[in-house]
Amino acid sequence: MKYKRTILFVDDEPNILKSLQRLLRQDEMNVLCASTGVEALEILGKTPAQVFVTDQRMPEMSGVDLLSAVRERHPEIIRMMLTGFTEIKVAVEAINHGEIYRLITKPWNDDELRATIRQAFEQADLKEEIKRLNQVTREQNFKFQDMNRNLEEKVRERTKQLAHKHHELRTAYVQTVGALAEAVDAKDAYTRGHSERVGVYASKIAREMGFTKEFIERVYIAGLLHDVGKIGIRDALISKPGKLTEAEYEEIKRHPSIGAKILEPVDFLADVAPCVRHHHEWYDGSSSGYPDRLRGDAIPLPSRIILVADTVEAMTSDRPYRKAMPIDCVVSELNKYSGSQFDPTCAEAFLRLLDREGECFIRSEVKFDIYEFIEG
Ligand SMILES: [Fe+2]
Ligand SMILES: [Fe+2]
């Protein structure tokens, strides 16, 4: 095809077709002709045309029927009817049914017909442009959907990586803290494993009390580090087998505040420091507690939990001067001092645990894994 634009005329009168071709000779368009509806459809099946003009009265297939067929098969083509005055009624009906864009009457005015054809092509261009824009919009939407999917995928992947990194950091951190606690316990053969067990008991009590994972973890860390201040106490005092003098006891009593001072400057242990400082306070605020003789809720909750865990661990372990106490004694001690030394809710939580799990969990040598413990 020579030109970009193509028009197809259908008329059973060869003279009409000839004069139409002559009329459009100068215009930049391919002019195709057909003398029947069947032939017209055949041409359109092979050659794309933007504008289609048909006569109404033809043997075999009428113009209106042909327009319907074209509309169905090639809806994008701009359709027009060229008709004699006598067929106007039919043509108007065709217009009303949306079959055609314009009606041209025979005999036509050359200039008017050319103008009409030009407008028809413009209409076709417009239709084409709208179609193209719709297509572009659809493609853009697909692209955006794709981008969104990719983005979601990336965010998911990144979150997974972060969670993994976070897990690694926590593990390293717990290991560091554990090493610190072990260094303390190592000062005295008899207290080996004390800190770890206090951490475990304390976190179990916290879980029994229904606290969040974060809180349970903090209680565990605080429990693990509760005696870290003993690093600053003379070894001879810590492992002294006999009874301590009053002066010696006063020195031992400094370990909670020394511990807090050690932890305070460490960023990720700062919130653990007060829990360590107050782990020997008595719930009733009596002078037996130290270092600040805080009372009731003024004592950090982790400290109150640790005090129960610490006492239970100490009572159930062998000491140079005595053997481990039977569990009955532990229970009666807890009951006896509940409300004075111990926060009753913490003591009760421990007793509930003991009731349910039996004393075996106290004796167990299993190392604490915060993740297994919390998630399991
Ligand atoms: Fe202590
Ligand atoms: Fe302790």
The three state secondary structure string of 77-143 is CEEEEEEEHHHHHHHHHHHHCCCCCEEEEECCCHHHHHHHHHHHHHHHHHHHHHHHHHHHHHHHHHH
264 and 225 Cβ atoms separated by less than 8 Å = no
Q: How does residue 107 score in pLDDT terms, banded at 50, 70 and 90?
A: confident
Q: Which ligand is nearest to the CA of 308?
A: 2
d(CA 336, ligand 1 centre) in Å: 20
Task: Look at residue 225 and tell me whether its pLDDT is greater than 80.
Answer: yes
Give the torsion sign (CA, 10, 13, 16, 20): positive
Q: Amino acid identity, residue 177?
A: V
* DSSP classification of residue 6: E
d(CA 279, ligand 2 centre) in Å: 9
Task: Look at residue 371 and tell me whether its pLDDT is greater than 70.
Answer: no
List residues bridging with 8 in a β-sheet. 32, 52
- The three-class DSSP label of residue 54 is strand
What pLDDT, in 10s, does the model give residues 258-315?
999 888 877 778 889 999 999 999 999 999 999 999 999 999 999 999 999 999 999 9
Q: Report angle CA 193, 195, 200 to the nearest 5 degrees.
A: 95
Q: In what order do the strands lie in the sheet with 78-84?
A: 30-34, 6-10, 51-55, 78-84, 102-106
**What's the longest Cα–Cα distance across the chain?**
134
d(CA 179, ligand 1 centre) in Å: 17
| Residue range 6-131, CATH number | 3.40.50.2300
Taking a 5 Å cut-off on Cβ, the residues next to ion ligand 1 are 227
| Averaged pLDDT score across all residues of the chain | 87
Map out the domains of the chain as residue ranges: 6-131, 186-375
List residues bridging with 104 in a β-sheet. 82
Token pair of 31 as six digits: 């002019």
Q: Which ligand is nearest to the CA of 314?
A: 2
Q: Which ligand is nearest to the CA of 256?
A: 1
d(CA 303, ligand 2 centre) in Å: 11
Q: What is the pTM of this model?
A: 0.57
d(CA 50, ligand 1 centre) in Å: 94
Cβ neighbourhood burial of 354 (10 Å; 0-12, 13-18, 19+)? middle
Cβ neighbourhood burial of 290 (10 Å; 0-12, 13-18, 19+)? buried
d(CA 356, ligand 2 centre) in Å: 25
Name the superfamily (CATH) of residues 186-375. Hypothetical protein af1432 (1.10.3210.10)
d(CA 94, ligand 2 centre) in Å: 100
List residues bridging with 34 in a β-sheet. 10
Q: What integer pLDDT is reported at residue 97 of this predicted model?
A: 72
Give the torsion sign (CA, 89, 94, 97, 98): negative
CA-CA distance, 301 to 161, in Å (whole number)? 34
d(CA 166, ligand 2 centre) in Å: 30
* DSSP classification of residue 340: T
d(CA 193, ligand 2 centre) in Å: 10
What is the rounded (10 degree) CA torsion for 152, 155, 157, 158?
Answer: 170
- Least confident stretch, 3-17, 152-166, 270-284, 356-370: 356-370
Long-range contacts, 344-352 (Cβ 8 Å, 24+): 344/283, 345/209, 346/205, 346/209, 346/304, 346/305, 346/307, 346/308, 347/308, 349/205, 349/208, 349/209, 349/305, 350/201, 350/205, 350/208, 350/308, 350/309, 350/312, 352/208
d(CA 194, ligand 2 centre) in Å: 7
Q: What integer pLDDT is reported at residue 376 of this predicted model?
A: 37
Token pair of 22 as six digits: 């002559």
* DSSP classification of residue 267: G
Q: What integer pLDDT is reported at residue 367 of this predicted model?
A: 56
d(CA 288, ligand 1 centre) in Å: 13
Q: What integer pLDDT is reported at residue 127 of this predicted model?
A: 86
Q: Could you tell me where the DSSP H helices lie in the chain? A: 14-23, 37-46, 63-73, 88-96, 110-185, 194-208, 213-225, 235-238, 246-252, 255-263, 273-277, 301-315, 327-337, 344-357, 360-363, 370-375
Name which of 287, 280, 225 is nearest 252 in CA terms. 280
**2 tagged catalytic:** no
Kindly name the residue from 160, 204, 230, 261 that is annotated as catalytic.
230
- Name the CA radius of gyration of the chain, rounded: 47
d(CA 200, ligand 2 centre) in Å: 13
CA-CA distance, 287 to 158, in Å (whole number)? 54
* φ, ψ at 310 (rounded to 5°): -60, -45
* φ, ψ at 81 (rounded to 5°): -120, 135
What pLDDT, in 10s, does the model give residues 46-88?
999 999 999 988 888 989 899 999 999 999 999 998 888 667 7
Q: How does residue 172 score in pLDDT terms, banded at 50, 70 and 90?
A: confident
CA-CA distance, 314 to 306, in Å (whole number)? 12
